[in-house]
């Protein structure tokens, strides 16, 4: 499809009536995308990174206020060293080359996950990007890097114990506030590309009532139109949060 045809197709998409306040994405399928093209996995991750730029601009344009992306899990350290190096190199490059433009576009960058264990150079760049964008309000972009949902809950429990809180006073809100997403609403919509039907240790506390949208499309191919489809599907979901409709009793 040519570029003008793609634009025309995008223009005919049905309007979005329900924009989620928080979308979280498990960007899966870079490796399979590359394999299908006879390329190596690094090429898949590079294509995935390029796609991130496109999806980010669509998300800003659609008026989504919070986006969380799963870029590197606490389990990803077990991948071959060369692949870990590629992923660390990519986040460094993204922070080097994209932070200024994101800052100009009103994006606030936040890291979620464990900072310990990351190379100092990466930590410094993350901290710099967070500081540079801290007053931005158009979009909060949580970058989950060295992130694991279980590790995050363990860290929250440690922090709660260290603060000496009375066990009887601990509520769900206490736990939420001590997660790395503390202060932000839970995701309304979790999108997983690449077709696997699991959460893979991603936001396992925050996902309690999130709507899940799983698509077989590999992450590098998940474009604006696919995002539009996901948000449209979200708009048709009935969210009951464990309750029934008042006239169903
Ligand atoms: C999963 O695909 C993807 C990842 C482990 C990394 C996601 C990273 C990016 C999209 C680029 C880097 C992002 C930043 C913020 C720099 P996979 O490798 O598991 O694919 P497969 O399931 O097909 O093997």
- The answer to whether 25 and 68 have CB atoms below 8 angstroms apart is yes
CA terminus-to-terminus distance, the chain = 51
Domain assignment present for residue 11? The answer is no
Q: Of 28-32, 144-148, 184-188, 240-244, give the lowest mean pLDDT range.
A: 240-244
Span 41-61, mean pLDDT?
A: 96
Question: Ligand 1 test: best mutation among 28, 75, 113, 144, most atoms within 8 Å of CB?
Answer: 28
pLDDT, tens digit (0-9, with 9 covering 90-100), for 65-77: 999 999 999 999 9
Cα distances from 34 to residues 28, 31, 140, 225, in angstroms, run 12, 5, 30, 21
Domain assignment present for residue 61? The answer is yes
> Residue 221's pLDDT is what?
98
Distance 119 CA to ligand 1 centre (A): 19
Distance 227 CA to ligand 1 centre (A): 17
State if residue 49 touches ligand 1 by the CB under 6 angstroms criterion: yes
Domain assignment present for residue 138? The answer is yes
Boundaries of domain holding 198: 30-236
Domain assignment present for residue 13? The answer is no
Domain assignment present for residue 62? The answer is yes
Domain assignment present for residue 34? The answer is yes
Of 154, 127, 125, 130, nearest to 141 by C-alpha is: 130
CATH of residue 215: 3.40.1180.10
Helix residue ranges per DSSP H, 3-148: 3-11, 30-36, 41-62, 81-104, 120-132
- The answer to whether 193 and 218 have CB atoms below 8 angstroms apart is yes
- The answer to whether 23 and 187 have CB atoms below 8 angstroms apart is yes
Q: Work out the pLDDT band at 196, boundaries 50, 70, 90.
A: very high
Domain assignment present for residue 22? The answer is no
pLDDT, tens digit (0-9, with 9 covering 90-100), for 134-158: 999 999 999 999 999 999 999 999 9
**Burial level of 155, CB count in 10 A (0-12/13-18/19+)?**
middle
Count of structural domains within the chain:
1
State if residue 220 touches ligand 1 by the CB under 6 angstroms criterion: no
Distance 74 CA to ligand 1 centre (A): 13
Residues paired with residue 191 on neighbouring β-strands, in sequence order: 25, 213
The rounded percent of the chain whose pLDDT value lies above 70 is 94
Q: Is the pLDDT of residue 125 over 80?
A: yes
Of 55, 57, 52, nearest to 72 by C-alpha is: 52
Residue nearest to atom 5 of ligand 1 (CA): 72
Domain assignment present for residue 142? The answer is yes
The rounded percent of the chain whose pLDDT value lies above 90 is 90
Q: Work out the pLDDT band at 2, boundaries 50, 70, 90.
A: very low
Q: Of 4-8, 60-64, 99-103, 180-184, give the lowest mean pLDDT range.
A: 4-8
Q: Is the pLDDT of residue 1 over 80?
A: no
Closest ligand 1 atom to Cα of 91: 16
């Amino acid at each position: 499809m040519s570029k003008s045809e793609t634009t025309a197709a995008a223009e005919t998409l049905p309007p979005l009536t329900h924009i989620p306040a928080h979308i979280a994405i498990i960007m899966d399928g870079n490796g399979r995308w590359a394999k299908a093209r006879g390329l190596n996995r690094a090429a898949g991750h590079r294509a995935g990174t390029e796609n991130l730029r496109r999806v980010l601009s669509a998300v800003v344009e659609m008026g989504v206020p919070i986006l969380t992306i799963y870029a590197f899990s606490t389990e990803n350290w077990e991948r071959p060293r060369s692949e870990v190096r590629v992923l660390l190199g990519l986040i460094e490059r993204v922070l080097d080359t994209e932070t200024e433009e994101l800052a100009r576009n009103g994006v606030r960058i936040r890291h979620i996950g464990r900072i310990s264990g990351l190379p100092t150079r990466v930590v410094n760049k993350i901290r710099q990007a967070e500081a540079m964008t801290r007053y931005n309000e158009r979009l909060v972009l949580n970058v989950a890097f060295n992130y694991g949902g279980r590790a995050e809950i363990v860290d929250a429990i440690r922090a709660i114990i260290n603060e000496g809180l009375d066990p009887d006073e601990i509520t769900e809100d206490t736990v939420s506030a001590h997660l790395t997403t503390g202060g932000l609403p839970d995701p309304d919509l979790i999108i997983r590309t690449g077709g696997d039907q699991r959460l893979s240790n991603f936001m396992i506390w925050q996902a309690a009532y999130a709507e899940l949208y799983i698509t077989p499309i590999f992450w590098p191919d998940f474009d604006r139109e696919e995002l539009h489809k996901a948000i449209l599907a979200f708009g048709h979901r009935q969210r009951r949060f464990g309750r029934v409709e008042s006239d169903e009793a």
